[in-house]
Structures are given as structure tokens and as C-alpha cells.
Amino acid sequence: QVQLVESGGGLVQAGGSLRLSCAASRSLFSINAMGWYRQAPGKLRELVAKITSGDSTNYADSVKGRFTISRDNAKNTVYLQMNSLKPEDTAVYYCNAVERHPEYDNDYWGQGTQVTVSS
């Protein structure tokens, strides 16, 4: 299994930037995709961005052009660079890793890190 630990959240003014990090407990060799999700109070958890083992990326429409997901395999770490932050970006952000097998997937989650964007 893989343990995931997020860091980098905090309080920032609208228009500011934050960089979230997700450190994995072991090599990402067997991980097919990693992503960032977020959940605001009273709302469902939603996909923000994901990156595959082949480095293809996908973003929610609401963050395209503002957020960038990247990976450093040597450090077993995935990042989410968040620029031009808006109050509606306020949420708990979770790191996710998917390890695919023929008949099932292993799905790993971090504990979450709070991002608060003030007006």
C-alpha cells in the first residue's frame, strides 16, 4: 500500500498562490494515476486535477489556466501549483493515487489539507 501526506495548505488572499505537495511513502512505479480532489463544506468531493504515469493531465474546467499538476518521481511527490486563487477555491484538498489491476483498483487517499481563500 501507499501512504499519502499532503502539505502546503493555508490562508491566502484572492489572487494569491499556493503550492500543495503530496508525498508518497514509496515509489510511484506501480501507480497509474494521481490526482487532487477538493471538498467544500456541504458539497461533494470533486476532481481538481489528475496526472497519469504517462504524464497526461486533466483539469476541472473551473481551474484550467490557473492550476498545474506535476510529479517528481525521484521524490515520490506530486504537486499542485495554484495561482490566481478565488474564494470559491476554498476547500479541503485531498491527494489520491490509483493502482490499477485487471480485476480491481487500489485507491489511496491522503488526510487532506485546508485551503482558505479570502476576499
Q: Are 50 and 36 in contact (CB under 8 A)?
A: yes
Question: CB–CB of 5/111 below 8 Å?
Answer: yes
Mean pLDDT of the chain: 95
Provide the edge-to-edge strand list for the sheet that holds 67-72: 4-7, 18-24, 77-82, 67-72
Closest CA to 22 of 99, 111, 86: 111
Which residue is it, cell 504515469? 53
Tell me the mean pLDDT in the region 37-61.
96
Q: Please list the residues that pair with 114 across neighbouring strands.
A: 92
* pLDDT, tens digit, 9 for 90 and up, residues 77-116: 999 999 999 999 999 999 999 998 899 999 999 999 999 9
Using CA atoms, how far residue 98 sits from 4, 6, 65, 89, 92, in Å, is 12, 16, 25, 24, 20
Q: Give the mean pLDDT of 64-81.
A: 96
